[in-house]
Structure 1
Amino acid sequence: MNIAYGIVAGLLALFYLYSGTLKVSRSRDRLRPMMAWVDRVPLPVLRALGAVEILGAAGLILPPLTGIAPWLALAAALGFVLLQAGAIAVHLTGEDRRITLNAGLIATAAVTVWLATGL
């Protein structure tokens, strides 16, 4: 179970580390081709969302590796499920109705939650 968690959580963490870094560091103009919804949220919210994604990625990996507060990995995975539920709502309320990636991420985060219960 730990190997499976490491693989799934590692891939999820890599995605969110990349996505969060983009949101924290890039301008709206550079994000717009990838994320059509960036004009509908204030810039500080976008930056905060990126920071949350980076911290969540660390929360998936560091607690199980260090053995310190491993329950934080479960909390981070649950947080990503909630984050993607909100992301789907944002996509569906705007003109961008592409939620395939979000659905895949919510499923992956849910599997990570299940695997984290065995840590």
Structure 2
Amino acid sequence: MNLTLWIAAGLLGAVALAGGVSKTFIPKERLAAQHGGEWTQGASPGFIRTLGVLEILAAAGLILPAVLDIAPVMVPVTAVCWVALMVGAMITHGRLGQYGLVLLNSVYLALAVFIAWGRLGPWPFGG
């Protein structure tokens, strides 16, 4: 199960990194023109970049604490924070009628719940 939790954290970390880099470095106009990026039309560039930076930090928080063995409890804490982010994403995409993206966000949410449950419960690091 430890390997499965690592794989889930790696997948979620890759998703967070890709989303974070795009929101941080791609201009708002280009994001708004892509499918799934329509929500950025009503958001300020600073808000979009802030979300991007948070996603990059989430990518780091899902992997680095355990790899470096420095406060590995931050992995499940980051996963719980990702759950909150995905709830917001699901609400946003739902309001725009983008139900396919709501479903995708729910998959990411489920991965985060799995990581948080596994690392806070039966399979903690160093346990």
TM-score above 0.5, yes or no: yes
- Quick check: 1:14 aligned with 2:14? yes
Alignment partners' CA distance in 2, 1:105 and 1:40: 24
Gaps spanning 5+ residues in structure 1: where? none
* 1:24-46 deviation per Cα after TM superposition (whole angstroms, max 9, x unaligned): 00012221213121112111010
Once the 2 structures are TM-superposed, how far is the Cα of residue 95 of structure 1 from its aligned partner?
4.8
Identity, % of aligned pairs? 34
**Counterpart for residue 53 of structure 1:** 55
Q: By how many angstroms is 1:92 displaced?
A: 2.2
Counterpart among 104, 109, 112 of residue 109 in structure 1 = 112
Any residues of structure 2 matched to 1:93-108 within 5 Å, and which? 93-98=95-100, 99-108=102-111
The answer to whether the Cα contact below 8 Å between 1:37 and 1:96 also exists between their aligned partners in 2 is: no
Equivalences, count = 119
Q: Which moved more, 1:108-117 or 1:79-88?
A: 108-117
92-101 or 81-90: bigger deviation: 92-101
RMSD of aligned alpha carbons: 1.4
Contact kept in structure 2, 1:74 and 1:116, CA below 8 Å = yes
Amino acid at match of 2:4: A
**In the aligned structure 2, how far is the partner of 1:46 from the partner of 1:95?**
20
Q: State the 1:113 CA deviation.
A: 1.1
Residues 90-99 or 109-118, more deviating: 90-99
CA shift digits 1:1-60 (9 cap, x unpaired): 321111000010001101100000001222121312111211101000000000011000
TM-score normalized with structure 2 length? 0.86
Could you tell me how far apart the structure 2 residues matched to 1:54 and 1:36 are? Answer: 21
TM-score (norm 1): 0.92
